[in-house]
Amino acid sequence: MTLSPILYTRDPPSLKILNQLLLPHQKVYENVTTVQQGYEQIKQMKVRGAPAIGLVAALSLAIELQIKYLEFSNNQNHKDFEPLNIISSPTALGEFIRKSLDYLNTSRPTAVNLFLSSKKLWEVTCDGLKENLNSKEIIEKIVDFVVKMLEDDLKDNKNIGKFGGEFLFSKVDNEMISVVTHCNTGSLATSGYGTALGIIRYLHEQGRLSRVYFTETRPYNQGSRLTSYELLHDQIPSTLICDSMVSALLSSSSLPHINNIIEQSQTNLTTCNQISAIIVGADRIAKNGDTANKIGTYQLAITAKYHGIIFIVAAPSTSIDLNIESGKDIIIEERSEDELVLVNGAIINENDNIIIDKVRVPPKGVKAWNPSFDITPAELITAIISEEGVFEKKLGMKEFDLTNFK
């Protein structure tokens, strides 16, 4: 069974979001019935990953509207009933939608998918108002649109996986391919399958993946908490490394005498394979290809360049922001320093009772800097892969021109 961070049913309306803060130790879905709750899920990073953020924002609006409409239908005679005001007039409904989208847009600043999904939902609303639709019809249109977004995201991820996999087959001579990835870009960060992890899944499905090395992804450990969970769940051969080990891995694996030797530790056997590519996701890609992604991506791109290794950015076209020329225009989210100094973990006692808690590492009073993303310059990126295909730089160019990408 595939992992899904989002469980939505249209009839009866129901939205459940997997609380990723409790993974990998507990699998708990939380009910979301309002925009406010959707906002909290995103802000607190119970759901995260650029595509999933955009989807949950849209779904939280859709579910609140559906529930309000049902309440309205059942209580039309109660004059003071709150949904009455919103649902009884399309203009009031439009105002409510506008305010809700503005509010959802303040939950996280870097991933552009959120803003694009809000923009599209607002367009759907405006179209409905222009066509003089009633509130029920406008809500139906919004729900249709959101359901399609969910379906498209899954389809797009599968296409990204295929395009990326075939691109690697065309560039890499080895029959079996080993790669490095960062953060979590899998089912948990999307509606399913994943972007960078989608490519890795495709390599595995084609029997061509030797091993994926994945970083812990400090400070929030999306790699060691979430990517590990997905890779184990799908039985994909994988090895966890910490963020500071990537250059050492590339350098040791590119030495012929070290390739394919078996390193034996007390507990496991790990084949030290030659790494062919680093594959990451994106939160926002500027017109010139500069890419905002999880903090640490930039240093991975530098080390890939130094070691002559392919560096791939995999993202749906909803992560491409043609309104900005370069990465300089991307707002980088800074999060609480607590995320850096307190590590989330679990204590499992002798009865297998699990207590999830935070553990402080540095002394109290220490100052910390916690930018959540960094910008990888286009120059360091070999190819950008979306559901529309593979995009490479023109010969001799340092930047991409994504103008006609979608």
Ligand X SMILES: CSC[C@@H](O)[C@@H](O)C(=O)COP(=O)(O)O
Among residue numbers 82 through 111, which ones bind ligand X (CB under 6 A)? 111
Q: 221: closest CA among 8, 16, 363, 21?
A: 21
Angle at 46 between CA 315 and CA 59, to 5 degrees: 70
Strand extents, DSSP E, 261-388: 262-264, 269-271, 275-280, 284-286, 291-294, 310-314, 320-321, 342-348, 354-360, 373-376, 383-386
What character string, x for contact with ligand X (CB under 6 A) and - otherwise, covers 281-320?
Answer: xxx---------xx--------------------------
CA of residue 399 relative to chain centroid, distance: 24
Residues 316-355 touching ligand X, rule: CB under 6 A, are: none
Pick the closest to residue 116 from 326, 371, 402, 406 (CA basis): 406
In DSSP notation, 156-186 reads HHHHHHHHHHHHHHHH---SSEEEEE-S--S
Indicate which residues carry an active-site annotation. 283
Q: Which stretch binds ligand X (CB under 6 A): 23-31, 125-133, 187-195, 247-255?
A: 187-195
What one-character DSSP code corresponds to residue 369? Answer: -
Q: Which stretch binds ligand X (CB under 6 A): 57-65, 81-89, 188-196, 353-361?
A: 188-196
- Closest to 230 in 3D by CA, of 207, 201, 256, 270: 201
Minimum distance from residue 316 beta carbon to ligand X (Å): 8
Percent helix, strand and coil across the chain, each to the nearest 5: 40, 20, 40
Work out which of 23, 179, 189, 384 binds ligand X, going by CB under 6 A: 189
Q: Which residue is nearest to ligand X (CB)?
A: 281
Contacts of 95 (CB under 8 A, 6+ apart): none
Among 56, 57, 101, 183, indicate the residue that binds ligand X (CB under 6 A).
Answer: 183
Q: Measured at the alpha carbon of residue 281, what is the angle toward residues 42 and 28, in degrees to the nearest 5?
A: 40
- Number of C-beta neighbours around residue 367 at 10 A: 7
- Least Cβ distance, residue 58 to ligand X (angstroms): 16
Question: Based on CB atoms, which residue is closest to ligand X, 66 or 185?
Answer: 185
Q: How far is the CB of 74 from ligand X (least distance, A)?
A: 38
Number of residues that bind ligand X (CB under 6 A): 17
158 in Cβ contact with 193 (< 8 Å)? yes
CB of 273 or CB of 293, closer to ligand X: 293
Q: Which of 185, 276, 303, 382 binds ligand X (CB under 6 A)?
A: 185
Residues 269-288 touching ligand X, rule: CB under 6 A, are 281-283
Closest distance between ligand X and the C-beta of residue 281, in Å?
Answer: 3
Closer of 227 and 274 to ligand X (Cβ): 227
The residues in 35-74 that bind ligand X, with binding defined as CB under 6 A, are 48-51
Nearer to ligand X, 135 or 318 (CB): 318
CB of 6 to ligand X, least distance (A): 13
CA distance 322 to 386: 14
Q: Convert residues 363-382 into a mask of x (bound to ligand X by CB under 6 A) and - (unbound).
A: ---------x----------
Parallel, antiparallel or unpaired: strands 383-386 and 310-314:
parallel
The nearest distance, CB 108 to ligand X, in angstroms, is 7
The answer to whether 181 contacts ligand X (rule: CB under 6 A) is: no
Binding residues for ligand X, per CB under 6 A? 48-51, 111, 183, 185, 189-190, 195, 222, 281-283, 293-294, 372
